[in-house]
Amino acid sequence: MHQTNTRPTVEAGVMSAIAIVFALISVYVPVVGAFVTFLWPVPIILLGVRHGIKWSILATIVAGLLSAILIQPFKAVTIVVGFGLIGLVFGHAFRARFGPFKTILWGSVACLISNLALMGLTFVIMGVNPLNFQSESMNQSLVQAFDIYRGLGVPETTIAQLEEQFKTAMTLFQILLPACIALGAVFQTYLNFILARAVLRRLGHPTPAFPPFKEWTLPLGFLYLAATAFGLLYLGQFLHNDLLGKIGLNLLFATALPLFGQGLALIYFLADKYNLSRLMRNIILIMIFTNGFLEIITVIAGAFDLAVDYRRLKTPRPS
């Protein structure tokens, strides 16, 4: 019993130390530090896989407290809050043998919560609204860019047209910022998943593998989310309610990208089914990514596949 209790204690100490070293590198080593930041949850994940979430929580707390002493407290809090919850969720998910999509789903929820918590801490501690700060930074960059255009002799009429286009894009960006934050959390979680899975496999721990891309599919709930988005957009226009319209637009944007991925998976499936050459596949992909109309068609194809299960991924094929 004594040996059984000693081993997780020792490993928790070692993993906490590794997490602290990662935190130091991420703060004080340029360029490399940005990459190491994404590796910070790996020791927490490994501890959760081996000994359970109780020990990974303990290691996260210890690493956070010691990092706050060795580094600037706010930077340490940023790393621990930003990646600690992801490490806890991934450790539990890998230990429980969740599938890759379920793992990323729960990891994305954890990442989104962490990012929102960081925004709240930034506002409370520093008195800065991160959302406004990003908008102000983009506006300043655009002003500098237009000054460069004027210095190069670009006509004022052309610059005025560009300013109008950028203002429209900025307005749309501000409206879609909640959806961008949510999708950014999914992307960050995917990167963390890939890195954690690579490290765990090197250490001999089995991890869930993705199926071939042509077999990827979304939960049916995405169709209901898309229908809800259209309903909110309609209600917003009918009731002249901007808030409902903005919520619907964010929800539509957040569901359109996954459905676009589903449509691409369907295209890969059909390409294999009809034995298309690699050249033809690349031509089709280039056409899709460079043509807005074809992108919309791909989203619709993804919704169609999800609704009728064309690839028979959720229902058995007839023998």
Cα separation of 213 and 53, whole Å? 31
Q: What confidence score (pLDDT) does residue 287 get?
A: 93
Q: What confidence score (pLDDT) does residue 196 get?
A: 86
Q: What confidence score (pLDDT) does residue 262 get?
A: 93
Decide if 288 contacts 298 (C-beta within 8 A).
yes
Phi/psi-derived region of residue 84, left when phi > 0, alpha when psi is between -120 and 50, beta in every other case: alpha
Tokens of 302: 């993804």
Tokens of 116: 């929102």
Q: What confidence score (pLDDT) does residue 317 get?
A: 46
Q: HSE-up of 97 (CA within 13 Å, CB side)?
A: 1
Q: What confidence score (pLDDT) does residue 220 get?
A: 86
Cα separation of 103 and 262, whole Å? 18
H or E element, residue 43: helix 41-51
Decide if 223 contacts 314 (C-beta within 8 A).
no
∠ CA 201-205-211, nearest 5°, is 60
Q: What confidence score (pLDDT) does residue 35 get?
A: 81
Domains of the chain: 1-137+178-210 (1.10.1760), 213-319 (no CATH)
Cα separation of 250 and 175, whole Å? 7
Rg (CA), the chain: 24
Q: What confidence score (pLDDT) does residue 161 get?
A: 80
The single-letter code of the amino acid at 280 is: M
Q: Mind listing the pLDDT tens digit of every residue in the chain (319 residues)? A: 444 567 778 888 888 888 888 888 888 887 777 788 888 888 889 888 888 888 888 888 888 888 888 877 777 778 888 888 898 999 899 888 888 888 998 999 999 998 888 888 777 777 666 666 566 666 677 777 777 777 777 777 877 787 777 777 777 878 888 888 888 889 989 988 988 888 888 888 878 788 888 888 888 888 999 999 999 999 988 888 888 888 999 999 999 999 999 999 999 999 998 898 889 999 999 999 998 899 999 999 999 999 988 888 766 544 3
Q: What confidence score (pLDDT) does residue 3 get?
A: 47
Can you count the helices (H) and strands (E) in the chain?
13, 0
Q: What confidence score (pLDDT) does residue 97 get?
A: 87
